[in-house]
Chain A
Amino acid sequence: SQQGEEDPQALSIQEGENATMNCSYKTSINNLQWYRQNSGRGLVHLILIRSNEREKHSGRLRVTLDTSKKSSSLLITASRAADTASYFCATDLNYGQNFVFGPGTRLSVLP
C-alpha cells in the first residue's frame, strides 16, 4: 500500500463551494506538500507544510497537518471552474531523498 493516499478519489462540486481533500500517510515525515496537475501536464507545487506546523494558508488554500493522526487536509475555498484538476499530496520522508506521492484526488468544479 502507498505511503500517501488521498481521499476522496474524485470530488465534484459547484462553483463557489469549498472543496476538501484529505491525505493519510504511514511513516514519519519531514514535510508534506500538495501539488496540482491539470490533465496530462506536469505537477505544480501549491503549498508545503512542515512537520512542526499545524496549519498554513496561501490565498484560497488552507492546509492542515495532524502528525498524531498522520493526516493532512487541503481546503480550497470559493472554488472556480479553473480549479478543476487532480491534486496530489507528497510526503518527504528524508529531506528530499524520498518523496512519495499519493494517487491523487480528481476535482471537478462545475460552472
Chain B
Amino acid sequence: DADVTQTPRNRITKTGKRIMLECSQTKGHDRMYWYRQDPGLGLRLIYYSFDVKDINKGEISDGYSVSRQAQAKFSLSLESAIPNQTALYFCATSDYHLAGEVDTQYFGPGTRLTVL
C-alpha cells in the first residue's frame, strides 16, 4: 500500500551494528505497529503506538526500541543487531473511529533485514 512506506526495503548488516528502520504513512492514522515475520511463524508484534505520546511493548520487544517522531512517522531500532533478528519487518497503521468500532490494519511493503 503506497500510503505506508518503509525504508530501506532491504538491508544487510553485521552483528553488533545499530540499525534503524523507518516507516511513514499518509493515511492520517493515529495507530502504528511494528511486526516481524519469520518463515512459518506468521507475524509477531514488536511495538505499537496509539499516538505520539503512547508507546507500548508487544510480544517480542526485547532487543528493539522505537520512536514515534510524529503522527506519520514510527521508527524501529535495533541497538546491537544479532543474527536471529534476521527477518522481514512490517510497519502497519490503523484507525480507531468510535468506541467498539475497529478499523483494519494497512501494511507497508516490508523491510528484509539480514544480520550476518
- Hey, which chain A residues are within 8 Å of B31, CB to CB? 96
Contact with A along B33-47 (1 / 0, CB 8 A): 101000011111100
- Which bracket fits the contact residues of A? 20 to 34
- Which bracket fits the contact residues of B? 20 to 34
Contact with B along A35-59 (1 / 0, CB 8 A): 1000011111100100000000000
Instruction: Check B110–A2 contact: CB distance below 8 A.
Output: no
A-B contact number at CB 8 A: 62
- Hey, which chain A residues are within 8 Å of B110, CB to CB? 40-42
- Hey, which chain A residues are within 8 Å of B1, CB to CB? 42, 44
* A-B residue pairs in contact (CB < 8 Å), sample of 11: A41-B110, A42-B4, A42-B110, A43-B90, A88-B43, A96-B94, A97-B50, A99-B33, A101-B43, A103-B42, A104-B42
Binding site for B on A (CB under 8 A): 2, 4, 9, 30-31, 33, 35, 40-45, 48, 88, 90, 92, 95-104
